[in-house]
Amino acid sequence: HFVRIVLQKLTSYRMTQIYDPRLEEIYVADGHHEDDWEKVQDEYINIFTIADEIGAKVLLVHIPSKGPWTEDSSYPSSRLGVLAQMYDIGFVDVLPSMQRESLNKSLYYDIDGHTTSNGHKVIADEIHSYLMDWEFINIIDD
């Protein structure tokens, strides 16, 4: 057990020396992670291109990481929103709903940060609302 702890600490230290993650700069425009953001953006553009070639529609959904959320937390959604707008892609930002609903319910598991069933419901409701507003879903009344 002791050796495992030491190896984890050593590995973690070496990774920060090699890769210099600068986690505090993840949400900084044109910052240290701009190349990483551009790689992600390029992958989304590939998806958009393939979808267009086969006549498929794409809906880009931003699901935020577990809070606490700060002003910087909206950076990914604003960046993805601009990208979606540039390529005329549907976009749903779940952050505002997660912020609002997290005041009343637990939306993420403490142990790993994944969404709980309450979190899944918030996400599903936002996607459903978007699809209904844009008439991607037609409900027939009997």
Whole-angstrom distance, CA of residue 45 vs CA of residue 53: 12
Query: Residue 22 — very low, low, confident or very high, per pLDDT cuts 50/70/90?
Result: confident
In the chain, what percentage of residues exceed pLDDT 90? 60
Using one digit for the tens of pLDDT, what is the confidence trace for 110-128? 988 899 999 999 999 999 9
Query: Residue 104 — very low, low, confident or very high, per pLDDT cuts 50/70/90?
Result: very high
The whole-number pLDDT of residue 33 equals: 81
Domain residue ranges in the chain = 2-133
The pTM (predicted TM-score) of the whole model is: 0.78
Residue 41 has pLDDT above 80, yes or no: yes
The whole-number pLDDT of residue 81 equals: 96
CA angle, corner 63, sides to 72 and 92, nearest 5?
100
Fill in the amino acid letter for 33: H
The whole-number pLDDT of residue 32 equals: 82
The secondary structure of residue 28, as a DSSP letter, is -
Residue 139 has pLDDT above 70, yes or no: no
Query: Residue 13 — very low, low, confident or very high, per pLDDT cuts 50/70/90?
Result: confident
Residue 53 has pLDDT above 60, yes or no: yes
Tell me: cis bond preceding 96? Omega within 30 of 0 counts. no
Per the CB < 8 A criterion, the answer to whether 79 and 37 are in contact is yes
